[in-house]
Structure 1
Amino acid sequence: MAGGTWEQTNRPVLPGLYMNFQAAAASAIQAGSRGTVVVPVKANWGPAGTFVEVGSEAAIGQIFAANALDNGTAYASLKLALLGGPKKLLAYRVTGETAKAASLVLKDGSDADVLQLTAKYPGDRANGFYVTIQPGVIDNTKHEVRLFEGNKMLYALLTADISAAALAEQINADESNLWITAQAVGDGTGTVATVSGAAFNGGVSGNESIANADYIALQAALEGQTFDVLALDHAADASLLASFAAWVKRVRSEGKPVMAVFGGSSADDTSASAAQKAAARSLTLNHEGVINVGTGVRLGDVDYSSAQTSAYVAGLIAGQRLNESTTYAATPFDDVTRKWTRAEQEQAVQNGVFIFIHDGRQVKALRGVNTLVTPESGQNNAWKKIRSIRVMDAINTDLQRSAEDSYIGKVNNTEEGRLALISAMKSYLGLLAQSNVIEASGYDVVLDPAYYGDSPVFKPEADQVYLQWNVKLTDVMEQLFGTFYVQ
């Protein structure tokens, strides 16, 4: 899907809808169809190197295991993302080069290897798996194959044929088997001997060997995935943050309007210089598509760093309606790990740091700002607000999709065709106006007068259409000023 921004001196080559948002706007609304979050995670079990949808806290445990063994981040990060309320949550397990699946080789009656069982996913968790193969209790002409983890039975198979080849075929074809694969060893004619508690071994999670390069490799996969907000599962070092920030800037300029949310370590969050450290991150990132969380939070008796909390912020951003704002958004948290002073809070807003505060009643976000500290040419202060960027992204995405589906390559570039395109886009903006995303009296779509009219500055090619959007975005009340007179 081609698209993105364009400049008069650097026009795109690929066919597509190219948008140029010049300063004149501000906020948004409308919900529902958007809201996908991606979180890369580390775990000791679960599919690796692929996107997996996670719909509930229970699903986290089923897919990745409900623990943080081997420095796993899946459970905490995905739980926090779900608390934010995204429409859809995608997890991507990152593994290092040492990751390996646990396995077990079963023998026949003569102690020869005949069947290899291998965990479906790499990780240390499968080292706790064990297998029993015994004659059936009710029908001893059949055998029961059972897979256990601790005292819990994960999988069972009742079969009359325990030859290696037949058993491998049955295990691999069984849709209820979510745990292991089987392969006959040798000629596959051997009969598997009965065993009790044969343990898997050799599984390695690979989390310790994960390097920045493993996360950077994720960027290529992300380009082929449809999503809205990305959060990292740990406090990345400056070089990795710079890499992801550069990636966000590039793909946004190419027509993929995604956001990324980052944070810092627990040590940074609770240090005396927490405000300065957070501000330094934002100053380095400095982009409307990147959000920097500066405070950690407490939920129950567990403290989460600002980096972990970034998953919650990503879910919150993705789950909101376009007419909602993260400013003063209430959260489920019990406290923050460090309370910022009034002066530090003011600095956070000015320095592009997204923080949480405890107002004496609840924990809430202070102000919905991104890391854009110094707007570029063509931008104004609206570009510093998360809500404004979401609305501009939504309009960009919707109009681009509509143009590709119904106009590009399908409608002749005549006056009638251009008027039909303008009419359709006005109708779309009218729906946004009805929802108070934009002001009803402040929008229009016209042919760009620089390219059309009696004396255009530039002459379009036969297959080019230049449009001008004039939109005034709405915003929420964030600062109320009152004067009280006492008589």
Structure 2
Amino acid sequence: MKPFVEGRHEAQAGVFSRFDMVVQNAVAEGARGIIAMPFKSDWGPVKEFVELTAFSDAKEIFGEGQTARLLRVAFWGNPLAVKAYRIASSKLAKAKLALDTIEIEALYAGTRGNKFQITIRPTLADPAKKELILTEDALQLESIIFGSISELIEIANDSAYIRVKKTGEEMPVDASGQALTGGHSGEDVTTTEYSEFLNALAAEYANRFVLDGVKDEAIKQMCIQYEKEQRQTGKLIKFDTGGMDALTIDYYGVTNIKQWAKKDGIKYEPEEVAVYASAAAASCPLNESLAQKVTPFDEVQKLDNVALNKAIKEGNLCFIQEGRTVKFSTPVNTMTTIKNLDSVITLDPEADVDAVIRTLQKIKIIEAADYIFEAQDKLFQKPISKANTEARRLATAQEMKDKLLAPLAAQEVIEGGSYSCYPNPDYHGPEPKKNTHKDEQYYITAFTLIDAAEKIYNQNKAS
């Protein structure tokens, strides 16, 4: 869905929408779950997205070397999926072993392949055949029985660890524990590799994206700029980071973590805690908030009440600690002013600016708004290429109410009785005030988003 700009008649077919904020000061302060993340590892596919639904899959495919270990942290947040993207520099190389008539190569580039050892020996059952044994750190990974090089190559093509190439005609000579060498993980990445990740992400669907603990300010700033550009083109994704000055970011699509945290004695920097927070925010039900949700951490950087209140007001997502339990505090993004509002969200002339800021600061509100935007995009696609009649416009509006708004009201994402969808009378009324082309349809969808209770006030009266 692309932003709708009043008065502009688009050349391309499609759905164009915007979110008009008409929040008044009486409005209370303001499950999907797919995140995307680049990372470095010693094994696995490179420069392509691999959709993971469990950490066990992540460990099997990529291992836990380098920042691939943060995939475990991502799954603490219980996301529906993690779109994992391994990055690497041009030094990336596969480990290899050349024998007399074959060359054995690790399936993936990286230093893990340097741990592989090859043994080739005759089989006891049939001396005409040989057995190739692949081990890693003295653990046998695979055994291949073969009677010819062609058979070895064919069987090895299904291996999860190696590939074999033919360099001669004879059966390979026996070998004992010979190691593959030359593997390089290409871990010396720069802004270039992260830029490649962002370019690839533009073609992927995800609710949020996060870096792999990166501290480089230039890379973070590049991601913030990318985030803003993507939202203005209609790609409703959010970016989670850490260790930055939230006041300088000041954007509703970016969340910043201020504190480090620990789990089982292992310290995670704010940039690494952001991996967990990203997954948790993406997977949180739309009718709930992250406020007071228990995290897997058992210690967090302490902030006194004054510092905590200041950090939250500056747009940081913070945590509190009660005993050995670490919880989310007020879940806000970095928006503190309206100076960085974009074409996706516009202000009604009557809107209360402070109330708008309080509302758009809430992670829950942005998640719900994005969900509605994306669902509208699918529903409004249906009348495209159909006859542009009043009956069809009314049917489209009714379907929006029946299939999207009513279920959201039932699930307490929007207020029941607050929603409606109808053709915009300024364009389609009996006396339209604005010009419309014969191939255009205009709608108004109205609803009131429900925030979650995050602050409970009680007054006791004892007698």
TM-score, normalization: structure 2?
0.91
Secondary structure at the counterpart of residue 22 of structure 2: coil
**Distance of 2:390 and 2:134 partners within structure 1:** 70
The residue that corresponds to 1:102 in the other structure is 95
- What amino acid maps onto 1:152 in structure 2? L
| Count of matched residue pairs | 444
In structure 1, the partner of 2:421 is: 445
The question of whether the paired residues in 1 share the 8 Å contact of 2:121 and 2:132 is answered with yes
Q: Deviations over 1:176-217 (max 9, x none)?
A: x111111112xx42331111111110111110x200110011
For residue 170 of structure 1, what is the amino acid of its counterpart? I
Alignment-derived partner of residue 24 in structure 1: 22
Is 1:24–1:471's contact at 8 Å kept on the other side of the alignment?
A: no
> Which of residues 107, 112, 115 in structure 2 aligns to 1:128?
115
Q: Return the alpha-carbon distance in structure 2 between the equivalents of residues 48 and 147 of structure 1.
A: 23
The 5 Å alignment of 1:185-204 reads: 185=167, 188-204=168-184
Q: 1:115·1:168 contact (CA, 8 Å) conserved in 2?
A: no
Q: Which residue of 2 aligns with 1:61?
A: 59
Pairs within 5 Å for 1:132-147:
132-147=119-134
Gaps of 5+ in 1: 108-113, 265-277
Counterpart of 1:393, as a letter, is: D
- Which of 296, 308, 313 aligns to 1:350? It is 313
Partner residue in 2 for 1:341: 304
Q: Which residue of 1 aligns with 2:68?
A: 74
Of the three residues 470, 474, 477, the one matched with 2:446 is: 470
- 2:145–2:152 CA contact under 8 A, matched in 1: no
- Among 286, 299, 313, the residue aligned to 2:277: 313
Q: Is the 8 A contact 1:128 1:149 kept in 2?
A: yes
Determine if contact 1:354/1:368 at 8 Å carries over to the other structure: yes
Matched, 1:393 2:370: yes
Matching residue of 1:270:
none
CA-CA distance at 1:10 after TM superposition: 4.4
**Is the aligned partner of 1:248 residue 2:227?**
yes
**Residue 171 of structure 1 pairs with residue 153 of structure 2:** no
The structural deviation recorded for 1:167 is 2.7
Match of 1:290 in 2: 254
State which of 48, 51, 54 in structure 1 corresponds to 2:49: 51
Return the offset for 1:11.
4.6
1:416 aligns to 2:391 (yes or no): yes
Deviation at 1:243, TM superposition (A): 1.3
Give TM-score, length-normalised by structure 1.
Answer: 0.87
The alpha-carbon deviation at position 387 of structure 1 amounts to 0.5
Instruction: From the superposition, tell whether residues 291 and 12 of structure 1 become closer, same or farther in structure 2 (CA, over 3 Å).
Output: farther
| Aligned-pair CA distance for 1:297 | 1.1
CA distance in 2, matches of 1:351, 1:246: 20
Where 1:248 maps in the other structure, the secondary structure is: helix
Q: In structure 1, which of residues 412, 417, 425 is the aligned counterpart of residue 400 of structure 2? A: 425
Structure 1 counterpart of 2:35: 37
Q: Could you tell me how far 1:408 is from its partner in structure 2?
A: 1.3
Q: Which residue of 1 aligns with 2:267?
A: 303
**Matches of 2:236 and 2:106 in 1, distance apart?**
38
SS at match of 1:473: coil
Between the aligned partners of 2:312 and 2:426, the Cα distance in structure 1 is 38
What's the % identity of the aligned pairs? 28
Residue 143 (structure 2) aligned to one of 139, 156, 171: 156
Aligned to 1:231: 210
CA distance in 1 between counterparts of 2:28 and 2:164 reads 56
User: How many Å apart are 1:153 and its aligned residue?
Assistant: 1.0
The amino acid that maps onto 1:339 is K
Question: What is the CA deviation profile of residues 417-448 of structure 1, one whole-angstrom value per residue up to 9, with x for unaligned ones?
Answer: 11011111111201111111100121111222
Aligned CA-pair RMSD: 1.9
Match of 2:361 in 1: 384
- Rounded to whole Å, the distance in 2 between the matches of 1:156 and 1:333 is 42
| Residue pair 1:94, 1:210 contacting (<8 A) in 2 also | yes
